[in-house]
Chains A and B, each alone.
Chain A
Amino acid sequence: MTTTLSTSNKANLAQKISLGLREKIAQQVSQYDRVSRALALEIDKKHTITKTYHVTLGQLQRFLKRLHQHSVAATKQTSISKKAGVTGATADAQLQARRERQAEIATVLQHVFGNLAELEPELWSHRAFLMLMGLAYEKLSTNQHELSTDELVKLTKSLGDACRVQPQIKVKKAPSESGNSETGPLPNNFAEIVRHVYGTNFNETEKDKPATSANQSSDREGAGR
């Protein structure tokens, strides 16, 4: 028996998946923790993944579970037989079922990840993004929703790498901003500069240091002579 979901149902289900994922991500961002650094995703207002955000492993599991729930509905109709050595007629039916399933998968992927063709081209060489999409495709087509340890390790590694790149960019920008801003934070060696200019600073623990350094410098001068 083959029945398919209506277009509106498909769209509703896929939208629920997108919205659910966005809500989860919003919660996670507010509960920012170290674990969330491990996995990175970013979903913009159009429900498309564009850059990187923080998602926990648990969230990814739930995301895949939602995809699975959608795929279960699709699979019930397609009911792909796993028998080996099938006859021609059964093989054609299987192939037809497979094609229908591919169409369902394409709909889900498009709604969850956005219009693939319109996304930033840079993403297509972004390993973490490709891995996540590939994983979603594989799980949908094989009707699974659990991540294996190996998959988790691979994902965590690649997404962790993606996370590591971002802070580096921020660190590069920070010195110029702090240096130019009059109201920004003081440079790390500000106390040293003040002491160098005025001979002392406001740090009580270093009150004695100028004296010792002054002694040392006079010693050096004496040694030089």
Chain B
Amino acid sequence: MKNGRKTREIKRIRNETLVALRVLYPGSIQADQLFRSLLVLFPTLEFDHFKRDLHYLCDKAYVQRIEAEGDDDPALIPWRRRWFRLTTSGIELADRCISDPALDES
């Protein structure tokens, strides 16, 4: 189920997410800020779709969630306010040291 999105577009969004996180590495960014920055390139992107992509990248261990100090119960924090950053595998992929056919756009 792709929610009406094309495969190429999905890959581009996931790749752009990695590129954005690479700029800030080893820092992290909130999902909402990341989403808004991606809207410049993908004006029709919806947060639910982006959340799904972020979930996917987390499950593939390219992106990890960061719990900032002072945050309340992590499970109760809404997705938009959660912090994410690249893992070591994620930075390797973003730096093109490794490749992943599932994210290869060509």
Residues A142 and B36 in contact, CB atoms below 8 Å apart = yes
Using Cβ atoms and an 8 Å threshold, which residues of chain B touch A143? 40
Tell me how far the C-beta of A88 lies from the nearest C-beta in chain B, rounded to whole angstroms.
9
CA distance A131 to B30 in the complex (A): 8
Greatest chain A CB density within 10 A among B20, B23, B41, B83 is at B23
Residues A126 and B69 in contact, CB atoms below 8 Å apart = yes
Which chain A residues in 100-125 approach chain B with CB under 8 Å?
102, 105-106, 109, 116-117, 121, 124-125
Residues B24 and A95 in contact, CB atoms below 8 Å apart = no
Number of interface residues of A (CB under 8 A): 33
> Which residue of the partner chain A has the closest CB to B41?
A98
Number of interface residues of B (CB under 8 A): 29
As a 0/1 sequence over residues 159 to 175 of chain A, the CB contacts with chain B under 8 angstroms (1 = contact) are 00100000000000000
Given contact pairs A98-B16, A134-B33, A135-B33, A141 touches B68 in the complex (Cβ within 8 A): no
Tell me how far the C-beta of B16 lies from the nearest C-beta in chain A, rounded to whole angstroms.
7
Greatest chain A CB density within 10 A among B27, B36, B67 is at B27
Which chain A residues in 128-170 approach chain B with CB under 8 Å?
130-131, 133-135, 137-138, 141-143, 158, 161
A73 is an interface residue with CB less than 8 A from chain B: no
Residues A142 and B23 in contact, CB atoms below 8 Å apart = no
Using Cβ atoms and an 8 Å threshold, which residues of chain A touch B39? 142
Identify whether the interface residues of B are mostly helix, strand, loop, or mixed: mixed
Residues A125 and B40 in contact, CB atoms below 8 Å apart = no
CA distance A124 to B21 in the complex (A): 13
Residue of B19, B43, B66, B68 near A84 (CB, 8 A) is B43
As a 0/1 sequence over residues 12 to 43 of chain B, the CB contacts with chain A under 8 angstroms (1 = contact) are 10001001100111111110011011011101
B101 is an interface residue with CB less than 8 A from chain A: no
CA distance A111 to B66 in the complex (A): 24
Residues B24 and A134 in contact, CB atoms below 8 Å apart = yes
Residues B30 and A134 in contact, CB atoms below 8 Å apart = yes
A82 is an interface residue with CB less than 8 A from chain B: yes
Using Cβ atoms and an 8 Å threshold, which residues of chain B touch A116? 24-27
Residues A125 and B69 in contact, CB atoms below 8 Å apart = yes
Using Cβ atoms and an 8 Å threshold, which residues of chain A touch B40? 80, 82, 98, 141-143
**Can you sample 13 A-B contacts with CB below 8 Å?**
A83-B43, A98-B41, A102-B19, A105-B23, A125-B67, A125-B68, A125-B69, A130-B28, A133-B29, A134-B28, A134-B30, A142-B37, A161-B70
Closest 9 CB pairs of A and B: A127-B68, A141-B37, A138-B33, A134-B29, A134-B33, A106-B23, A84-B43, A84-B44, A138-B37
